[in-house]
Amino acid sequence: MQPNALAPAGATSVANPASDGDPLRATPKVMVLPEGTYFITARLAGGDRQQIKGVNFPCAQLSSLPEGGREALQFLTSQGLSTSAWLSGASEGATVIVKANSAPLLLTTLSLTGQLSTCLNVGVQRLGDETLAPNIDVRLTTHIQRLGDRTFASGEWASAGDHLLWIEAFSVDGSPELANSLEYCALTPVDQAGTWVTLGAPAGSRGRGMPLLGAGFRLVGPLAATHKVEYAVRFLRHGDLAGQDGIPCRSSQPQDPVMAMKVAVLPR
């Protein structure tokens, strides 16, 4: 039985800056786990680890989503039993027993500016059973008008923020499981049908001043049986459109440029 995982929050929250001026970025995810005993680990997939006041970043906090009538989870680590646990990509892990009335697991990944929360792979294994469908990291790199390349984490809106600038091209990278499994396409003024490409390949155009007019994503192969891809595109005039099953998002307005987009790969 697979856990029911909700997509990360649409916007990444920014906490108070640390002492050296680096703000924290928090990306929460909720997982409703079936009854059983689980071992949760974190693995640093790439990027640099940074330490501030004895805390390594990126890191993950394990806790419970408060729900009335449900019991908070208890995490067993080398430091003992507690209602929360911290994992920083070293060799440590946490064991938790999930009962019928247990609250959902709240997994919050914390990273610093310049780091990606997706550099930390969190695995959830049911003891005495097969490993649950792994969390898949997705990194979306967009080429934004006049700004150049910007990289965004899984489920995070990729955009120029408060600046009214369109997206001209993008590429996707992430977990090794995505290789030969994730395909995507970009709709442009010269390719309005969209040409499908594979992980790491560019989609769209650079240096030609042409905005994207839409985008689509799809999973193929064995990964499609255990995971689903969720994506959305924001247009200047039409607003937000959510996509599914590889159908490209396109505006009903002619020549409506893409201003933002997001994508996540989640367990079914």
Domain match, 190 and 248 both: yes
Sign of the four-CA dihedral 10, 232, 120, 42:
positive
What's the whole-number average pLDDT of the chain?
Answer: 84
Q: How confident is the model at residue 104 (pLDDT cuts 50, 70, 90)?
A: very high
pLDDT at 91: 56
What residues make up the domain containing 164?
A: 138-267
Tokens standing for 175?
């977990």
User: Does a structural domain hold residue 133?
Assistant: no
Q: Kindly indicate the confidence band of residue 172, based on its pLDDT and cuts at 50, 70 and 90.
A: very high
Same domain membership, residue 262 and residue 150: yes
Domain end, chosen from 96, 126, 156, is at 126
Residue-level pLDDT at 225? 84
* Number of domains the chain contains: 2
Check whether 81 has a pLDDT greater than 80. yes
Q: Quick check: is 131 in a domain?
A: no
Same structural domain for residues 142 and 235?
yes
Pairing of strands 214-219, 80-82: unpaired
| Listed residues 95, 126, 157: the one ending a domain | 126
Do residues 261 and 140 touch, judged by C-beta distance below 8 A?
A: yes
- Residues 19 and 118 both lie in one domain: yes
Express each pLDDT in 9-38 by its tens digit. 333 333 443 444 557 788 898 999 998 898
Question: Which pLDDT score, from 0 to 100, does residue 89 have?
Answer: 67
3-class DSSP state of 118: helix
Q: What is the pLDDT of residue 85?
A: 93
Which of 101, 126, 151 is at the close of a domain?
126
- In tens, the pLDDT along 111-123 reads 887 666 556 778 8
Could you tell me if 248 and 165 lie in one domain?
yes
Residue 198: inside a domain? yes
Structure tokens at 236: 């200047």
Are 8 and 120 contained in the same domain?
yes
262 and 143 fall within a common domain = yes
pLDDT, average across residues 136-162: 92
Say if residue 106 is in the same domain as residue 164: no
- 103 and 167 belong to one structural domain: no
Q: What was the pLDDT predicted at 13?
A: 38
Asked if residue 132 is part of any domain, the answer here is no
Structure confidence at residue 79 (pLDDT): 83
| Whether pLDDT at 57 is above 50 | yes
Residue 71's closest CA among 46, 51, 47, 101?
A: 101
Q: What is the CATH number of the domain that holds 35?
A: 2.60.120
Q: Is residue 9 part of a domain?
A: yes
52 and 113: one domain?
Answer: yes
Band (pLDDT 50/70/90 cuts) for residue 126 is confident
